[in-house]
Structure formats: C-alpha cells, structure tokens
Amino acid sequence: MALDEALFWSCDRPTLRCYRWLRPSISFGYFSEWDVVFERYPDRDLVRRWTGGGIVEHGKDFTYSLSLPVNETLPKSRDLYRLVHESIAETIRSNGQSLEIAVVPDANRSDACFDRSVEFDLKLNNLKIAGAAIRRHRVGLLLQGSIQRVHLPPDFGQQLAWRLSEEVHLSVPGQAVIESARRLETQKYSSTEWNRRR
C-alpha cells in the first residue's frame, strides 16, 4: 500500500505496478470499519487502503495499481474502471479462458469485495475474479485492483501493460520513491491511527 501511494505521488506518466503477497493478508477500503474486518480476520495482517472498496483477501491473487498523473486527461472513474477491466478481460481471453463482464451489480450485500460484483467487474463461472477501487486527488488518480480465482500466465502484468498502453517502459522505483514508501509504511500504513480510524 505504501509503495502504491509513493508511486502515485511521484509519477509523471501512467504507472502500472503488479505484485504478489508474501503471506495471506487482508486489505480493506478507506471507509471500511476496522471492527468488522478484525472480527472476521483476527489472525491476518490487516491494512487499510487509501482507495475505497470492500475487504479483499490477498495471498494467491494478482494485485496491481495504476497511477495516473493530472497531466494526463483523466477519465471519469466509471470509464477508467470499465477500460481497465475490459483490458484485463481481453488479456485473459487471449490466454484461452472465457469470462463475462458484469452488467449490473449483484443483489446481495457484502463487505467482502469478492462476494459481490458491481458493474464492469469480471466473472468466471459466476464467481467474481476481478475488482478494483479508485482514489481521485487533485494531483491525479490511483486505482488498486486484485485478480483472483483464475490462472494467469507469469507474464500477465506485461501483457496487461501492453493492452493499456501503446508504449511500455519497464522500470524499477528509484531511491526517492523507496524512501517515501518506507516513511508511508512507518507513519501511516502500519499505524494504529490509520488502520483503526473511524
């Protein structure tokens, strides 16, 4: 979460970050209630996201973030959500798997992100496999997403990047971004004040 935010603050062009988790963990949206999350997952590492959305189980999923600076023409959140999920769908289909794009939200209510689909989420065999959350700010936009319950090839992140852009450059975060992420991790994402905020 800290590195996603550090990349957001520093990016001067669209930046896609793809990553995995070292152990089973839980991220939960900015507006989620700590008590609900902790009661459900008392033995997991828990972290509040800067973006919204529900509770997401991590461990075997493919997680990504997309940072767009304000110097880009920023799409409406709904349009970006659709564009990113259509790109994910095309990438998965090109690897031989069929899926559907949700047209209407599921009727059930749930705090768990993958228990309920919203418009433009991806589903396979009637199970949600991809969801995301967005944070808009005056300097840009951050989208954080997870893909679960589906086999992805090792180079899926690169395939997705090429679906999202006509020009792709592989890079490693610089020292300034790493230091910023470390500060955010210490001062924000690992703090009780942030994670248990009301």
- H or E stretch at 93: helix 77-94
pLDDT digits (tens, 9 = 90+) for 91-116: 999 989 889 999 998 888 899 999 99
Please tell me which residue in 55, 84, 102, 113 is annotated as part of the active site: 113
CB-based contact 65:4 (threshold 8 Å): yes
Percent of the chain with pLDDT over 90: 91
Q: Domain 2-193 falls in which CATH fold?
A: BirA Bifunctional Protein; domain 2 (3.30.930)
pTM of the model: 0.95
Tokens 């998965």 found at: 92
The tens digit of pLDDT for each residue in 44-86 reads: 999 999 999 999 999 999 999 999 999 768 999 999 999 999 9
- Residues 6+ away with beta carbon under 8 Å from 136: 74, 77
Report in angstroms the alpha-carbon separations of 188 from 23, 158, 192.
Answer: 21, 30, 8
Evaluated on CA atoms 109, 123, 87, 67, the torsion sign reads: positive
- Active site (annotated) includes residue 113: yes
Please give the span between the terminal C-alpha atoms of the chain, in angstroms, as a whole number.
19
Residue whose entry in the numeric block shows the structure tokens 């065999």 = 125
Look at residue 56 in the predicted model and tell me its pLDDT: 98
- Give dist(CA 55, CA 46) in Å, integer: 10
* Position 30 pLDDT exceeds 80: yes
